């Protein structure tokens, strides 16, 4: 059978674009469909604009910090509209770059949907392909409490005409804590409402505790162990009622309660592709679905929802289908960062996860970073190594503090290469940096053991 294309990619985000581009570079005849802006969530309503906003928020504190260094700088007024216009211009530039990357592909700027194992309906036509890759990503989960229609989700906050003076954020995952820090840094009063005792479930407990302290020190009002019962609107004003009856008057309620795969109406049933309860497409380690001609990469598979993972999966798949075999990626120990204030970065096992595998040596440093010895801003840096006691391999590294993402990226190479604590110890540090603490931790803070083991 002859097909219109060797490969049809549904979704022009980070994963889809990489997969299409690499397949075309291997000589495949490729088509890509994107219904919205090129670059997907990361470029348009995610990582990139968020990080620009985090950078904007850091200047507010920098003015106060500079006084400790002898400057008499005066705080200015932040112009939200100017920031959004600058951010939009940069995103438009990136959209153009992403679209140009598709120069060797047939591009459909329309929604595509599966109609069979080898067919897709797009822009009113049915086209066929030998292989189809679904790379449609995810969408924010709307809240289900009363008055949800009076709330915004992360897509909306990138387009707000102005920054409200007071903001309530629901949730304490990546998005909630990142925006809590940046909105507070830009001058809003933020209140964070979350059901767990500490933010960032799944992260190392000590980091979670450190982040809660840092957010409180920044002035964010924390409401742990709480959920929103309802939201009422009166004009632009919102009244939030928590599950304990407490009420908060605010200008904006931002719901950041997770994201789900964007597979509704995508034709999965027509093509026979199986998906889970959240609409996540089930795939194996080669990104293959249960239908041999259909693959899925990135957030639509709802495993590790991070841009570089989607890119790795897309690249690897294109190499395997059309190139000289897949490029190898290590997806067991993927480093990740949370651009909270200050940021968090982490790679490998938490203390609790390591202890579940056997006794772990724990090394911790908590200190005032050099900048804040003079700025007097109450801010601590926390650095932690988790070492498997039996092998002495460093199985986890965690940091809360300035430059954490930049530092942990390098540490993750050592951990992926199987470095031991002794390898860290014989590495000479760079002075004076925070990063050098990772190679100068000499005194073990404690031995972590699984609760059952500890009780024996």
Q: Of the listed 166, 372, 398, 431, which one is catalytic?
A: 431
Q: Report the residue from 113, 130, 166, 195 that binds ligand NDP according to the rule CB under 6 A.
A: 195
- Measured distance CA(186)–CA(178) in Å, rounded: 12
- Measured distance CA(135)–CA(34) in Å, rounded: 10
CB 209, min distance to ligand NDP, A: 15
Q: State residue 254 phi and psi, 5-degree precision.
A: -115, 115
Residue 414, interface with ligand NDP (CB under 6 A)? Answer: no
- Measured distance CA(61)–CA(186) in Å, rounded: 9
Residue 384, interface with ligand NDP (CB under 6 A)? Answer: no
Q: Whose CA is closest to 223, among 170, 147, 151?
A: 170
Please report, to the nearest 10 degrees, the dihedral formed by the alpha carbons of residues 93, 97, 98, 104 taken in order.
150
Residue 182, interface with ligand NDP (CB under 6 A)? Answer: no
- Interface segment toward ligand NDP; rule CB under 6 A; list 15-23, 255-263, 421-429, 436-444: 255-263
Residue 203, interface with ligand NDP (CB under 6 A)? Answer: no
For 120-133, b where at least 16 C-beta lie within 10 A, e where not — what string? bbbeeeebbbbbbb
Residue 164, interface with ligand NDP (CB under 6 A)? Answer: no
CB 345, min distance to ligand NDP, A: 9
Residue 238, interface with ligand NDP (CB under 6 A)? Answer: no
CB 353, min distance to ligand NDP, A: 16
Bridge partners, 365 (sequence order): 383
Q: Which is nearer to ligand NDP, 23 or 337 (CB)?
A: 337
Residue 183, interface with ligand NDP (CB under 6 A)? Answer: no
Q: State residue 260 phi and psi, 5-degree precision.
A: -130, 155
Residue 305, interface with ligand NDP (CB under 6 A)? Answer: yes
Residue 146, interface with ligand NDP (CB under 6 A)? Answer: no
Q: Report the residue from 176, 281, 349, 364 that binds ligand NDP according to the rule CB under 6 A.
A: 176
431 is catalytic: yes
H-assigned helices in 259-369: 268-271, 307-322, 351-357
- Find how far residue 39's CA is from the centre of its chain: 15
Q: Report the residue from 45, 114, 257, 349 that binds ligand NDP according to the rule CB under 6 A.
A: 257
2: left (phi over 0), alpha (psi -120 to 50) or beta: beta
- Measured distance CA(163)–CA(210) in Å, rounded: 27
Residues of span 339-378 touching ligand NDP by CB under 6 A: 339
CB 138, min distance to ligand NDP, A: 7
The 326-345 site mask, x for binding ligand NDP (CB under 6 A), equals ----------xxxx------
Half-sphere exposure of 82 (CA within 13 A, CB side): 5
Residue 173, both tokens: 């995952």
Size of the site for ligand NDP (CB under 6 A): 22
CB 113, min distance to ligand NDP, A: 24
At residue 92, the 3 state secondary structure works out as helix
Residue ranges binding ligand NDP (CB under 6 A): 171-176, 178, 194-196, 201, 227, 256-259, 305-306, 336-339
Active site residues: 431
């Amino acid at each position: 059978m002859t097909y219109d294309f060797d490969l049809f990619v549904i979704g022009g985000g980070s994963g889809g674009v990489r997969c299409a581009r690499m397949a075309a570079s291997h000589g495949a005849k490729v088509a890509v469909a994107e219904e919205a802006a090129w670059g997907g969530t990361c470029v348009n309503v995610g990582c990139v604009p968020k990080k620009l906003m985090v950078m904007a928020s850091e200047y507010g504190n920098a003015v106060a910090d500079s006084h400790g260094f002898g400057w008499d700088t005066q705080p200015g007024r932040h112009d939200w509209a100017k920031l959004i216009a600058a951010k939009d211009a940069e995103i438009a530039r990136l959209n153009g770059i992403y679209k140009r990357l598709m120069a060797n592909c047939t591009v459909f700027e329309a929604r595509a949907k599966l109609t069979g194992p080898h067919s897709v309906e797009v822009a009113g036509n049915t086209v066929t392909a030998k292989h189809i890759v679904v790379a449609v990503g995810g969408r924010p989960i709307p809240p289900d409490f009363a008055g949800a229609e009076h709330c915004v989700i992360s897509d909306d906050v990138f387009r707000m005409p102005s920054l409200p003076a007071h903001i309530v954020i629901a949730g304490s995952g990546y998005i909630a804590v990142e925006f809590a820090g940046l909105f507070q840094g830009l001058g809003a009063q933020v209140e964070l409402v979350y059901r767990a005792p500490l933010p960032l479930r799944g992260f190392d407990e000590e980091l979670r505790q450190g982040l809660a302290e840092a957010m409180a020190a920044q002035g964010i009002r924390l409401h742990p162990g709480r959920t929103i019962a309802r939201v009422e609107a009166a004009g632009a004003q919102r009244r939030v009622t928590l599950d304990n009856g407490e009420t908060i008057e605010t200008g904006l309620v931002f719901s950041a309660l997770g994201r789900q795969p964007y597979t509704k109406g995508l034709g999965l049933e027509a093509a026979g592709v199986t998906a889970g309860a959240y609409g996540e497409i089930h795939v194996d380690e080669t990104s293959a679905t249960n239908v041999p001609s259909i693959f899925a990469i990135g957030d639509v598979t709802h495993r590790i929802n991070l841009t570089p993972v989607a890119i790795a999966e897309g690249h690897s798949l294109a190499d395997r289908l059309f190139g000289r075999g897949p490029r190898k990626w290590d997806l067991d120990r993927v480093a990740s960062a949370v651009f909270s204030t200050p940021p968090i970065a982490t790679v490998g096992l938490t203390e609790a996860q390591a202890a579940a595998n056997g006794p772990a040596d724990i090394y911790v440093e908590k200190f005032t970073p050099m900048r804040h010895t003079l700025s007097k801003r109450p801010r601590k840096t926390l650095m932690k190594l988790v070492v498997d006691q039996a092998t002495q391999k460093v199985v986890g590294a965690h940091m809360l503090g300035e430059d954490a993402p930049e530092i942990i990226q390098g540490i993750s190479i050592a951990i992926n290469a199987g470095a031991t604590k002794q390898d860290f110890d014989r590495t000479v540090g760079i002075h004076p940096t925070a990063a050098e603490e990772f190679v100068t931790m000499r005194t073990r803070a404690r031995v972590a053991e699984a609760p059952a083991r500890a009780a024996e």
